Amino acid sequence: MRWYAVKAILLPNGPRVTRHVFSPKLDLNSVKLVLASTSPYRVALLQRLGLPFETIDPEADESEDRGESPAERARRLAKFKAMAPGKRAGLVIGSDQVASLRGQILHKPETPEVAVSQLRLCSGQTVAFYTAVCVMSTDPVWQGERLVTYEVTFRDLLLEEIKRYVELDAPLDCAGSFKWEALGITLFKEMRGNDPTALQGLPLIALCELLREAGLSLPLGSQSVKE
């Protein structure tokens, strides 16, 4: 495997040019891919890429910073999670999602009562989801990040519909109180965005772009990784 660090070149009578040069292909037998998340939804999404990886708990403090926008919060936490393994070698993936209704952050409900309350607020409204993903390498030092925005407009929901949905889908660990990949789709009037996987917390299109920038060839062939 060949990696090159950032190289700064001072041209005669010209500006300094900074270049990022990477090997066109990484060997996953020697480069470890790490997902800094314990979310089963992010694990399932990353498995779709057919890449060998391991997971760790980033132990992130997700308390809010005063004056921070939902997009800024998502980017900050994604970067923090990618940094959490410290000096651990390999490509580390951190991701975070923030749901916002008219500027109000919608946290994971954790209880059926809060889920019902959130969905009543969302009825007939548009919720914006800001999902950030950050990929870091510790040797050499490299970082790339993306922010993906996705909007969901809910139809006008009856209270009995909301209660029935929460009972059936149990979206208690989902920001916004729904699982779009399951029965949550029945609550929507419209979805707008470039990558629906962002709604599950890990935007795969953006992640694939970052992994290619880091030098990983995708899709990965069946002979690329030894058992």
For the annotated catalytic residues, the residue numbers are: 96
User: HEC string of the chain?
Assistant: CCECCCEEEECCCCCEEEECCECCCCCCCCCCEEEECCCHHHHHHHHCCCCCCEEECCCCCCCCCCCCCHHHHHHHHHHHHHHCCCCCCCEEEEEEEEEEECCEEECCCCCHHHHHHHHHHHCCCEEEEEEEEEEEEECCEEEEEEEEEEEEEECCCCHHHHHHHHHHHCCCCCCCCCCCCCHHHHHEEEEECCCHHHHHCCCHHHHHHHHHHCCCCCCCCCCCCCC
Residues 63, 122: Cα–Cα separation, whole Å: 23
